[in-house]
């Protein structure tokens, strides 16, 4: 079973997404509510995919992504940015690819996310 790491400062979001993913039994989900905790979990748990929020207090999503890419232990883990700062229409029009990065716009439609995970 695939392992997915959710990094988002919204605790309820982490919980709800985790529950949704586990309910559909597509993967095992882990969650971190800070960037630092997320990096630590990425190193120790070696997830198959990281779902990363961008706007977080302290270390934000782009900082976390840079740190993960800089570390050989985590550099190969695919990252999907899950964010409310990117327009849903832009994400749809660009098939989730903007500036070499993959995005999913909030609010997350579970079915869309599952398709992405299964495509890994």
Partner 1 sequence: MRAPTRSPDELRKEISALKRQIGKLEKTKRACEQAQAGWRESEARCQTIIDAIPDGYVEADLAGNFTFINNRICEHLDYPKAELIGANIRRFQNAAGFQKTFRVYNQIFKTGKPCKSFELACLRKNGSQKIFEVSASLARDAQGRPVGFCSVSRDITERKKMERALRESENRYRMIVENINESVSTMDLNLNYTYVSPSEIRTSGYTPEEAMRTPPDKELTPESYAMALGVMAEEIKREFGGGPVDIHRKRSLELAMYKKNGDLYWQETTTSFLRDENGQATGFLFVGRDITARKQAEKDLQAARDQLLQAEKLSAIGQLSAGVAHEILNPLNIISLELQLIQEMKNLPRDVSEELSICMAQIDRIVAIADGLMQLARVSDKKMETTQINDLIAGILTLHKAQLMIDKIETVVRYQDGLPEIPMDRKKIEQVILNLISNARGAMEDRESKILRIATDREGTDAIRITVADTGRGIATEHLSKLFNPFFTTKAQGKGTGLGLSISYGIIKDHGGRIWAENNSWGGASFYISLPVRRTMDVQAP
| Residues at the contact surface with partner 1, assessed by CB under 8 A | 10, 12-13, 16-17, 19-20, 23-24, 55, 84-85, 87-90, 93, 106-110
DSSP type of residue 108: P
Nearer to partner 1, 94 or 118 (CB): 94
The least CB distance from residue 98 to partner 1, in Å, is: 10
Q: Strand 2-7 vs strand 49-52: parallel, antiparallel, or unpaired?
A: parallel
How far from each other are the two terminal CA atoms of the chain, in whole angstroms? Answer: 12
Task: Identify the CA nearest to 5 among candidates 66, 102, 82, 67.
Answer: 82
Nearer to partner 1, 73 or 85 (CB): 85
Nearer to partner 1, 40 or 93 (CB): 93
Q: For residues 62 and 99, give the distance between their C-alpha atoms in angstroms, rounded to a whole number.
A: 13
The least CB distance from residue 82 to partner 1, in Å, is: 8
Nearer to partner 1, 20 or 102 (CB): 20
């Amino acid at each position: 079973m695939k392992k997915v790491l959710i990094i988002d400062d919204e605790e309820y979001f982490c919980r709800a997404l985790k529950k949704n993913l586990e309910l559909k039994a597509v993967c095992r989900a882990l969650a971190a509510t800070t960037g630092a905790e997320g990096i630590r979990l990425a190193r120790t748990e070696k997830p198959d995919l990281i779902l990363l929020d961008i706007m977080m207090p302290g270390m934000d999503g782009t900082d976390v992504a840079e740190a993960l890419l800089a570390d050989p232990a985590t550099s190969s883990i695919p990252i999907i940015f899950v964010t409310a700062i990117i327009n849903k229409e832009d994400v749809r029009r660009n098939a989730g690819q903007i500036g070499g990065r993959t995005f999913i716009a909030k609010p997350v439609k579970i079915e869309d996310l599952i398709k992405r995970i299964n495509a890994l």
